Amino acid sequence: MAGKRWEQWLWDCLLTLCVFLALFGCDRLRIVPGKIPSLSSEKFNRLWVVTSDYSTGVLIGIDLLDSSVQTLRIGIHSDAIIRVPENNNYFYVVNRLGADNIQVGDRSQKKVLGQFSVGRGTNPQDIAVVNSQVAYVSRLQSKTLLKVNPITGTVIKEINLFEHADIKTISSSDPDGFPEMAWMRVLGNRLLIVMQRLNSEEGFIPSNKSQLAVLDLATDRVEKIVDLRGTNPVTEIKLRDNELSIGEAGTLSVLDGGVEVFDLNMNTKGWVTTEQKLGGDIIDSALLTRETGVAIIAKEIYGPNPITQLVVFRRSDGKMVSILKDLGIYSLHQIVVDEARQIFYVADRNPKKPGVMVYDIKTLSPIFNGYYEVGLPPYHMVLAD
């Protein structure tokens, strides 16, 4: 009799478990926050996240040692990115369209110390901090690159990129007259500047060849202009295994872009994959290993049901090999690779449950069901202390 009661109890437990799974589903189980591998000796132990619903902006800090999520009580613009350079104790929030300023904050105290304007209506896109005395600000609606003191905001000089002969030749066919300076990256004694070259008078469509300007930091002279294979570069300039990569979206919904790779001398190695092979417009991309890469693509952008997918591609031929995430809304946004931990983070702007997903580079599977809930949809992320 006791044996039968034990069997009945076990059966009831199994039945209850089946009912639970049927009601709540595996998707809900997968988004339980989890802890990622801890590397206490690693310098990048925090993921800084700018979150925004396009009306409110909030800065979030994720401690990668204990997986805690902290909301920083710092008011930022709803259209902003963050930079946390290694060479000082400050963080910088680039408040873009409509705000046109840079906020300077203390990393240890986690508070804003002040802010400075970069010109009304100039729409700053990025700040590249060289040291405590020098930084550069790219502005979408300006012909000049701004060189400033990153603490006080004092303007040191404005650098006219049109002084380069190659830019003069093309500028005549660019209706708005702006090079549309966007993402930047300091690489040794050079500054790399993405110039999207869009026509702001007609909805920011590509107007000519997009380019990469290489600025000599010692002289503030443009030493080289590189024509990109595609137009409308939308991703940051990413470095992995002595290779630089840039995702180029081209004309939206046309599938004319791809992910272009360069060596450290800015010599192109061509596209490592294309939108045609991936089946959608590039939103972001990253090289994971010498064999694989990942990308976020958008499909049916102008349709009634736009979707985004996180896909894996093979670097040898650029073909898509798997889909890691498929969302029925336009939500996946950014990829950040954590080389030390061999993982990567993905910003999920799904309004129903926004957060940061965590994947293992080798297995391409979620890390310990890792999913950080950050309140508002995540827009921009950087690894730092």
pLDDT at residue 42, as a whole number: 65
**Parallel, antiparallel, or unpaired: how do β-strands 332-338 and 343-348 relate?**
antiparallel
For residue 258, give every residue at least 6 positions away whose Cβ sits within 8 Å of its Cβ, in sequence order, or none.
229, 230, 247, 248, 271, 272, 273, 274, 275, 282, 318
Query: Is it the case that residue 28 has pLDDT exceeding 70?
Result: no
Q: What residues does each domain of the chain span?
A: 82-227
- The mean pLDDT of 253-281, rounded to a whole number, is 97
Q: Is the separation of the CB atoms in 207 and 225 below 8 Å?
A: no
- Is pTM beyond 0.95? Reply is no
- The mean pLDDT of 353-380, rounded to a whole number, is 91
Q: How confident is the model at residue 244 (pLDDT cuts 50, 70, 90)?
A: very high
Buried (b) or exposed (e) across 305-324, using 16+ Cβ within 10 A? ebbbbbbbbbbeebebeeeb
Phi-psi region of 368 (alpha: psi -120 to 50; beta: other; left: phi over 0): left
Q: Report d(CA 5, CA 180) in Å as an integer.
A: 74
Query: pLDDT tens-digit profile of 315-345?
Result: 999 999 999 999 888 799 999 999 999 999 9
Q: How confident is the model at residue 280 (pLDDT cuts 50, 70, 90)?
A: very high
Helix locations, the chain, DSSP H: 2-30, 165-171, 275-278
* CATH 1.10.3260.10 for the 82-227 domain, yes or no: no
139, β-bridge pairs:
124
Which range has the worst mean pLDDT, 108-122, 130-144, 189-203, 233-247?
189-203
pLDDT at residue 177, as a whole number: 80
Q: How confident is the model at residue 213 (pLDDT cuts 50, 70, 90)?
A: very high
Task: Name the DSSP class of 113.
Answer: E
Q: Report d(CA 15, CA 376) in Å as an integer.
A: 37
Sign of CA dihedral 226, 227, 232, 234: negative
pLDDT at residue 298, as a whole number: 96
* Cα radius of gyration rounded to whole Å, the chain: 23
Report the residue count for the chain.
Answer: 385
The closest of 299, 187, 198 to 237, measured between CA atoms, is 187
Q: How confident is the model at residue 38 (pLDDT cuts 50, 70, 90)?
A: low
